[in-house]
Chains A and B, each alone.
Chain A
Amino acid sequence: MTTAVQIKQLTMVQALTDAMRTMLVQDEAVLVLGEDVGTNGGVFRATDGLFEQFGEERIIDTPLAESGIVGTSIGLAVNGFRPIVEIQFLGFIYPAFNQLMTHATRMRQRSMGRYTVPMVIRAPYGAGVKAPEIHSDSVEGLFTQIPGLKVVIPSNAYDAKGLLIASIEDPDPVLFLEPMRSYRSSRMEVPEEKYTIELGKAAYVKKGEDVSIFTWGAMVPDTMKAVEDFEKNHDATCDVIDLRTLYPLDKEMIQKSVEKTGRVVIIHEAPATGGVNAEIISLINDAAFFFLKAPIQKVTGFDTPVPVYSLEKEYLPSKEKMINAINTALSY
Chain B
Amino acid sequence: MLEKFPLTQYVSEDGKLLDDTAKEMMNPDTLKHFYEKMLRARMMDKKCTNLQRQGRIGTYVQYEGQEAAQVGSALAIEEGDWMFPTYRDHAATMTFGHSLRSLLLYWVGRIEGGIPPEGKNIFPPAVPIASQLLHATGVAWAEKKKNSDRVSLVYFGDGATSEGDFHEGLNFASVFKAPVVFFNQNNGYAISVPMEKQMNSKTIAQKGLSYDIPGIRIDGNDIVAVYMETKKAVERARNGGGPTLIEAVTWRYGAHTTADDPSKYRDQSESELRRGTTDPLLRLEKYMKNEQFWSEEWFQAIEQQISNEINTALAEMQDFPEADIDNVFDNVFEKPTWTLEEQREHHNSIKRGQKS
Contacts and interface: CB of A to CB of B under 8 A. Distances in A.
A73 B138 CA distance: 6
Interface in A80-122: 80-81, 95, 98-99, 102-103, 107-116
B331 interface: yes
B172 A62 contact: yes
Given A172-B333, A172-B334, A76 B138 contact: yes
B142 A79 contact: yes
Contacts of A111: 114-115, 123-124
Contacts of B127: 102
A78 interface: yes
Interface in B113-133: 114-116, 123-124, 126-128, 131, 133
B169 interface: yes
Given A98-B131, A171-B334, A71 B111 contact: no
Contacts of A172: 333-334
Nearest to B152: A75
B112 interface: yes
A102 B124 CA distance: 12
Contact of A67 (B143, B164, B333): B164
Contact of B332 (A63, A98, A148): A148
Nearest to B134: A71
Contacts, number: 126
Given A62-B172, A67-B165, A248-B337, A108 B134 contact: no
A72 interface: yes
A149 to B, nearest CB: 9
A113 B168 contact: no
A163 to B, nearest CB: 16
Interface in A31-89: 57, 62-63, 65, 67-68, 70-81
B128 A63 contact: no
B333 A110 contact: no
Interface string B49-65: 00000000000000000
Contacts of A62: 172
Given A112-B115, A200-B337, A74 B331 contact: no
A65 B151 CA distance: 23
B272 to A, nearest CB: 37
A251 interface: yes
B332 A108 contact: yes
Contact of A78 (B131, B139, B164, B169): B139
Nearest to B332: A148
B338 A71 contact: no
Given A68-B134, A68-B169, A109-B328, 20 more contacts: A65-B168, A65-B171, A67-B134, A70-B134, A71-B165, A71-B169, A74-B135, A75-B134, A75-B135, A75-B138, A75-B141, A79-B139, A79-B146, A81-B142, A103-B135, A109-B332, A112-B115, A114-B116, A115-B124, A200-B337
Q: Which 9 A-B pairs have the closest CB atoms?
A: A75-B138, A71-B134, A68-B168, A79-B142, A72-B138, A75-B139, A248-B337, A109-B331, A171-B334
